[in-house]
Amino acid sequence: MAAERNADGVERRLPTDEARELLALTRDIARREIAPRAAEEEAAGRFPRELFTLLSRSGLLGLPYDPVYGGGGQPYEVYLQVLEELAAARLTVGLGVSVHALSCHALARFGTEEQRAAHLPAMLGGGLLGAYCLSEPSAGSDAAALRTRAVREGARAGSGGDVGDGGGDWVIDGTKAWITHGGIADFCTVMARTGGAGARGITAFLVPGDAPGLSAAPPERKMGMTGSPTAQLHFDGVRVPDARRLGAEGQGFALALDALDSGRLGIAACAVGLGQAALDEAVAYARERRQFGRPIADFQGLRFLLADMATRVEAGRALYLEAARLRDEGRPFGRCAAMAKLFCTDAAMQVTTDAVQVLGGYGYTADFPVERYLREAKMLQIVEGTNQIQRVVIARHLVGPESR
């Protein structure tokens, strides 16, 4: 097993030399192309589409997927460390790669061979960018209550609900909310109601981003992550052939939850990256800033604060990597993924808050990046299942579902 040390001297173990080279490439791109422009572009609310094109050409957009379809064939343990490095340079980029991978999940895991061959190469290495469309204005944490509806038209007589092309089209109407890459995505994985109420009435579809009838509302005005567009998507008679149905009819919610288990690990890795960036900034400042004739890093109160920050970052990293290894080994990892998302994002919130405190008044200004890190960390406690929902998931694994 290859090993190297990260910027703060902690040894990081990687499964192969290829993985070590991949992480080195990621760090080089992050240092040269991503970090120098991050503050300016976030302040301007600019999405760096050209960086995602570069990441696609570098093979970093499809790392955990099958090389047969243009993926990187990397274990999640490696993919998540790449995400961490990207997020440390700019959360908009790290989170964007995570969302893109999430939007590819249903097709890669549950699509037919014909569907994968037709669409995955462009999605994984062809410069396309994806969006994941589950939440709605009235269906957030209660995602199974979604109202967007798909009605089938012109199906062949006797065609069933199994995976494959049953003929005819689906017409989708409704509104999706809080969609990362809303309005700029080239494709969307969309969950829509095709049957009765509840989780079993939902089906998944792969919808082109330029489909007639699909439009985006103006991007949400957010406290952080201003460079990453988040918008409602409106489906007004969007027609999708049955060949773009993913999985069987009524299987969509199960597909969505399966993707979210993996997506939560992506959020956890991004949170650790953000926390590491805040810690690095705080340590560097503490070494340089002088008060009472010596660096503030000499004062025990501040040294203890930095020690707690570092411990939270390192503990979060260990937790998400443990969940990744469970996933790579084909073992149940949902509980550990929920724990990683919960712990790592709470840790990022605390570490970024402490980083602002270390910098004092300067930390509260836009002249230093820690105020941006703090605003961005809050979002990570909310997306892909709030941290309250993660506690529900963990508790269910421990003691079973709630009594009704």
Residue 404 in domain: no
Residues 6+ positions from 223 with CB-CB distance below 8 Å = 375, 378, 379
Whether residues 61 and 82 fall in one domain: yes
Mean pLDDT (the chain, rounded): 93
CA–CA distance, 144 with 141 (Å, rounded to integer): 9
Domain boundary among 77, 92, 125: 125
Question: Each residue of 80-97: pLDDT tens digit?
Answer: 999 999 999 999 999 999
Of all residues in the chain, the percent with pLDDT exceeding 90 is 89
For residue 142, give the CATH number of its domain: 2.40.110.10
Residue 44 lies inside a defined structural domain of this protein:
yes
With 60 as the cut, is the pLDDT of residue 6 above it? no
Examine residue 305 and state whether it is found in any structural domain, yes or no: yes
Which one of 192, 225, 254 terminates a domain? 254
The model's confidence at residue 9, banded by pLDDT at 50, 70 and 90, is: very low
pLDDT digits (tens, 9 = 90+) for 72-81: 999 999 999 9
Which letter does DSSP use for residue 193 in this model?
Answer: E
Q: Which pLDDT score, from 0 to 100, does residue 156 have?
A: 58
Give me the domain span that covers residue 269. 257-399
Locus of tokens 């995505």: 185
- Per-residue pLDDT tens over the stretch 236-265: 999 999 999 999 999 999 999 999 999 999
Instruction: Give the per-residue pLDDT at 373.
Output: 98
105: pLDDT strictly greater than 90? yes
Over residues 256-283, the mean pLDDT reads 97
161 has pLDDT over 60: no
Is there a contact between 110 and 251 (Cβ–Cβ < 8 Å)? yes
Whether 159 has a pLDDT exceeding 60, the answer reads: no
Query: Active-site positions?
Result: 384
Indicate whether 167 pLDDT > 80: no
Q: Where are the beta strands (DSSP E) in 260-308?
A: 290-291, 294-295
Report the predicted TM-score, pTM, of the whole model to 2 decimal places. Answer: 0.93
Question: Predicted confidence band at 11 (pLDDT cuts at 50, 70, 90)?
Answer: very low
